[in-house]
Structure 1
Amino acid sequence: MTSLPGDSDSGGSTPEPRPIACARCGATAEEPPLTWTFSVENGTRHYICDGCARANLRAIEGRLDSTWW
């Protein structure tokens, strides 16, 4: 069995750093709310709050690089 990046020796994934911060506006939350968007860009996890996600929905759905929006 091969291990994936981020897997630890115990078979679990690396825990998320707390608190979670929005990559756009810096809003924070202890746990990522269900309304937030999650993406991986260049191997780095990014969370986007619901307000920023709504404001940039077309760019997100169009898969534009976040530097464009």
Structure 2
Amino acid sequence: MTGDGVVSCARCGRLRDPDGDPARNLAWAAEWDHGVLRWLCPDCARAHVRDIEGKLPTEYWG
């Protein structure tokens, strides 16, 4: 999340549109990484679901 409350994807930088599709906005995934809240857009979350569930460090994500 940026300082102004806008959520951006930690992997690709995509911004969440607060006025966009509510179902798509709910599909964003949040995770804590070394004490920092990180957001993933639905596409990046889907692409890395096994890495996320396996709790692999983000530097291993290809």
TM norm structure 1: 0.68
What does the per-residue CA deviation read over 1:44-68, in whole Å, with 9 as the maximum and x for residues that have no partner? 1100000001111111111111111
Matched pairs, number: 53
Question: 2:49 maps to what in 1?
Answer: 57
Where in structure 1 are there 5+ consecutive unaligned residues?
1-15
| Larger relative helix fraction | 2
Higher relative contact order (CA 8 A, sep 6+): 2
Secondary structure in structure 2 of the residue aligned to 1:63: coil
Where in structure 2 are there 5+ consecutive unaligned residues?
19-24
Taking only the aligned residue pairs, the percentage that are identical comes to: 36
- CA-atom RMSD, angstroms? 1.6
| Larger relative strand fraction | 1
The structure 1 segments of at least 4 consecutive aligned residues displaced by more than 6 Å after TM superposition are none
The structure with more radius of gyration: 1
TM norm structure 2: 0.75
Amino acid at match of 2:60: W
- Kept in 2, the 8 Å contact 1:18–1:30? The answer is no
Question: 1:25 maps to what in 2?
Answer: 12
